[in-house]
Structures are given as structure tokens and as C-alpha cells.
Amino acid sequence: MSNVALGSASVTVGAACAIAGVIVVLLGILGYRPRWFADTKLLVGLMTLASVASVVIMERALITRDFTVQFVADNGSSQTPALFNIATLWAALEGSVLLWVLVLCGYVVAVVVKFRNDGDDPMMQWVMLTLFVVCAFFFLLMVGPSAPFTSFDPPAGYDGPGPNPLLQNHILMAFHPPILYLGYVGFTVPFAFAIAALVTGRVGEGWLVATRRWTVLAWGYLTFGIVLGAWWSYETLGWGGYWAWDPVENASFLPWLTGTAFIHSVMVQERRGMLRVWNLSLVVSTFALTILGTFITRSGVLQSVHAFVESQIGPWFLTFFALIVIVSLGLIAWRGDELRAPGRIDSPVSREGAFLANNVVFAGFAFVVLLGTIFPLIVEAIDGRTISVGNPYFDQMTMPIGFTLLFLMAVAPILPWRKASGEVLSDRLIWPAWLGVGSMVFAAAVGARGWAPMLAFGLGGFAGGAALRQVVLATRRQGWRGLVGRTNGGMIVHLGVVLIAVAFAASNAYVRQGEFTLEPGDSAVISGHTLTYEGSRIVEYPNRVERKADIRVDGGQVYAPAISTYPFAGQTIGTPSVRSTLQDDIALSVLSFPEDADDAVVLRATVQPLILWLWIGGIVMAVGTALAVVPGRRRNPIAPTSALIPEPDSVEAPS
């Protein structure tokens, strides 16, 4: 059979299993099928096998250059290197949905395995029903408007254009989208438990305990995926930046903001039984924003360097998004009386008070980003005008929010629960505060100027000092276990955030950029660095031809930014080259090779301090997330509300 027939069959089987799963679980809920969970496990297995088969068949078609598959004809090429040929699966719309479904089925399998002994629990029925509904939606997309296996009749000698050149000139293309999807799709699990808790009325703390590590892992994947995306942008686009408040960048950042707020506020509910409505709203918002972000990315409604072409998939996602919001809000309103918190905040100067403030600020941050992202859509829908919201809006609106979050990140972890005395505050804040002052003094000594970056250095030192204090105290009490668990691992994550915040402030405040026209042997000086042009050369690759400019930096190593021509795609793009050190980065980009000058080059050089610490900070955050999911020392939490939920592993050091 052809790849088109096999792939279409596998997608159809997967859709049938997802729909059958919805029916079987509903029959179980109504009491007509007592052994519903056994049937569910079989259907999940078949659905997952169908998803795996679909991906394998598409990869086989890409690797063998089977141009009878429309997706391969549109995006594949015999000239595409092997690694990027495999990654072409998620380089375009239909293949990205295939990957999404594969990841989603993997999470569903993990849920079934984790809770395999809880088939009699009514809460699991609603969890599985929600998961099957989400699976059915995405499988039906592949049966309908986003069908990956449609046929094409290639003419003799046909060769496809290959993926967009920007998607085949950096190795991070192979890792950034799958890791981002692991984060995006991972929030489906806590969403399913939240819906189940609302339907069954078990809205206490049990469902939070059941989904704690699922949420942290999804958040960690999303975090690392965003950092890898910024790194990829920095090294691929050649504009000297890494974050442009692009609509698709914002689409991944929005669920990260609400997910971060949830991870913090859930500790208040577990400890004090408070913020129940707020936490449910955050879980729903996070999942809904992943669907909205998918709509923005894949519908083509907003112009973006990351977005896919315009498609018919947009109305499907908008309808699903509206359904999620309406059903979730309806359930929250229905359970309003049961969601009233038994506890209250005794004092604003307490850990729960700081976490609440943290959540309000994160919610404000998300609103600012969401408004700036969808405002062009609103204007276009009202009067047909096409506008864009640029960096000045985002920079001016988010800067004070960022400073506030840094301050709260320093204060919240060291505050005790319920109420803090002045003596406790002075004892716990003194060393972090001095470290913050020291950071500002050191920054000024090495030449830092300007109130905004200096404040960022000071608050970064303050927050970093608070996190280090917690880690040191925890390791003194618990040894190596002071590095693991939610709170202790969270402090490692905070250290990574501090590194990113300080590097972000420094690289944006002290960036230097210049353009130079150089003949071979000429030199240019920028921000204390000497760039010497040694001539150009042409290098041929299987999928492109590059004209490289050899630039010697500070008399040392030669770097080779280039202009690359992809003949099959009919495109020419710049390929930058970056010299990175712990102190600063020099990003080199060729703007042109003037035809009226013998081997001259027009070069753009961008010098930014501390860029490397952005990526180091991202790695530290990933390590901290991994440590946070390792079980820490137990304490006595609020009792779970369901037999489904095991006694939790708490990782919180005592105040």
C-alpha cells in the first residue's frame, strides 16, 4: 500500500479510537459499562499505536522523498540534509499536528499507567473523558482540514522546495519545537483533572497533589522550549536580538505566565486551603491559552516570522477555545459555594500574601501581553485596518512588571506562613539585601550606567541572595536532599531566572551595533573589539551555496558570517556567526557583497554583554525543574480528598 493509504488509515483508526473512548467512558459514567477502564486502556493503546504509525509513515515518506504525498511535495526535497529532513515533520502545519497528537497520546498513556489501579474512581472517568475529547478534536483535525496524507501526482523529475531555509540552517530546529510541544501539550493533564474535580465536586486539594509533578514537568518543558527558541532566533535571524515580542513568541509566553502563577499559588491552596477558584481558573486559562496560541501560530491570521501559512484550521481552534472557556467557567460557577476557601490571609506580610501579590502581577503581565498580541485582530475585525503593536508598547508596559516580580521573587520564599514579625524580616532579608547592594556597586564599578539596568542588577542580586540563602539552609539541614523537591528545586529555578533577568537587562541596555563596508585587509573597531576582514569564499553544500566573509575577531579566531542561497527554495538568506564569551557576544551578519567593489563586504556587528548567561540561566532553570520533581522530605499536608490521590511527597523546608 502507498504511504497515503497507510497514513490515512492510521489517522482514521486513531480518530475512531478517540471517539470510541468518549462513548465508552460516557457509558461507564452512566453505569452501563462497569468495565469501562479496561476498554479504555485498550482504546488508548490502539489510539497511540495509530499515532505512532502516522508519524512513522510520514517520516518514511520524507526520508524516501515520496512526492506522491502532498505534504512531502510541498515541504520535502532531495537536497535537504538528513537531520532537517526528519525535522521537516514539524516545519509545516499538517506535520506539526501529527507531532502534537503523538505527544498528546504519550501523555494519555502515562496517565493510564500512573492511575491503572484507580479505574473504579469516578474522578478518573471524567479525567479520561476530558483527555479523549481533546484527542478526538486533534484527530478530527487530521481527518478534516489538516489532513497530512493527501495524494499528489508529481511530474517526471519533480523535486520539492524543501522546508523554509530559516528552518534548515540551525540544529536547534530539531529540538526546539518538540520540547515546546511537550510543554504545551503537557498542560492537558492538569486541565483534565481540574475538569474532573469540578464535575465530581471534589474541589479540595487532592487533584492538585495528583497533578503536581505533571504541571511542573509541563512548565519545565515549556520554559526550556522558550529559551531554546530565543537561542535559535538569536543565532539564525542575524538581527542581534533574541526576543522581539513576536505574536508567535507571545503565544508560547502567555501559558508560561499563567502556568508560573499556578505553580506558585497552588502551594497556598495546599498549605492553607485558599485560592481554589483562582487555581482552577489558572489551570483552565493555561490550557485555553495553549489552544489560542496554536490558533495564532497555525491559522495565519497574524504576520510572524514563525507562523505557518494561512489555513482553514483557524475556525476549528477558535471554536474549541470558546468551548473550553464556556464549559470551564460554567463548571466553576456551578461549584461556586463548594469553592469557597476555608482559610484566609492573616497578614499581607506573609508567604501567602506575597504569593497572592505574585499571582496578581503575573495575571497583569499576561493581560498586557495578550492585549498587545490580539489587539491587531480586534482592530482588523472592527474596521478592516491592519496594524501592529511594536516593541515600545511591550517594553514600557512590562518593565515595571518585571521589576516587581524580581522583588517578590526575593521576598516571598523567605517570608513565613500566616504572619511575619519585624525581627524575622530583618534576620532573613539582611544578607540578600546586602548582596543586592553589592551587585549594584559591582555593576557601577565595571561601567554600568542607567537606572533601569542598575535596578535590575540590584533586584537580581537581592532575589539571587534570597534563593541562595534557602538552598544553603536546606543543604545544611538535609544534606544533598536540600537540592531536591519542589521548594528546593524551585530555588534553583529562581537562580536561573535571576541569571536571565540580569542578562536580559544588560544585553538590552548596553547593546552596540554598527555597519561597516570593508575591503580585504580592512579593520573596524566596535565597543573595544577589532574586526578584520580577510576576504570571502564560496562553499557549496547539498542544499545551499554560501558566500562566506572571513572575519578575524580581536586578532584571534576567524568567524564566517555568510549569505546563503537555496536554489530549490528560490531564496537567499543571511547566516550569522557569533563569538560568545562569558563577558559579551559579537554577532556578525553579512548585509551584502557589493557588486561594484572587488570582494568588499557590508558587515553588521552587534556587541551585547552577558548574552551567554541567558542560555546558562535557561539550563539552570531546566536543572532546577528536574530537581523539583524528585521527591523531597515529607511533611503532614492537608489530607487528600480522594482515595485516588496518594499521600504527597512534600518538598518544602519548614519556615
Burial class (CB in 10 A: 0-12, 13-18, 19+), 611: buried
Model pLDDT for residues 429-483, shown as the tens digit of each residue: 888 899 999 999 988 888 888 888 899 999 999 999 999 988 888 888 888 787 8
Closest residue by Cα to residue 610 from 520, 505, 475: 505
pLDDT band of residue 384 (cuts 50, 70, 90) is confident
Return the closest-CA partner of residue 587 out of 549, 615, 566, 559: 559
pLDDT tens across 187-222, in order?
999 999 999 999 998 887 788 888 889 999 999 999
Counted domains in the chain: 1
Q: Is residue 558 part of a domain?
A: yes
Q: CA-CA distance, 312 to 169, in Å (whole number)?
A: 29
Least confident of 250-259, 471-480, 574-583: 471-480
Assigned domain for 68 exists: no
Residue 529 lies in a domain: yes
Q: Which three cell numbers stand for residue 539?
A: 562553499
Q: For residue 553, is it within any domain?
A: yes
Quickly tell me which residue has 478518573 as its cell: 124
Helix H or strand E encompassing 591: strand 584-592
Kindly report the three-state secondary structure assignment for every residue of 290-321. HHHHHHHHHHCCCCCCCCCCCCCCHHHHHHHH
Amino acid at 196: A
The answer to which of 51-60, 503-512, 646-655 has the lowest mean pLDDT is: 646-655
In a domain, 279, yes or no: no
What does the pLDDT average to over 93-98?
90
Of residues 293 and 597, the one with the higher pLDDT is: 293
Nearest Cα neighbor of 255 from 292, 295, 210 is: 292
Q: Does the residue 247 lie in any domain?
A: no
Whole-number pLDDT of residue 299: 64
pLDDT at residue 420 tops 70: no
pLDDT, tens digit (0-9, with 9 covering 90-100), for 522-550? 999 999 999 999 999 999 888 889 999 99
More confident residue, 636 or 443: 443
pTM of the model: 0.90
Range of the domain at 548: 516-609
562 located within any domain: yes
Percent of the chain scoring above 90 in pLDDT: 53
- What amino acid occupies position 654? P
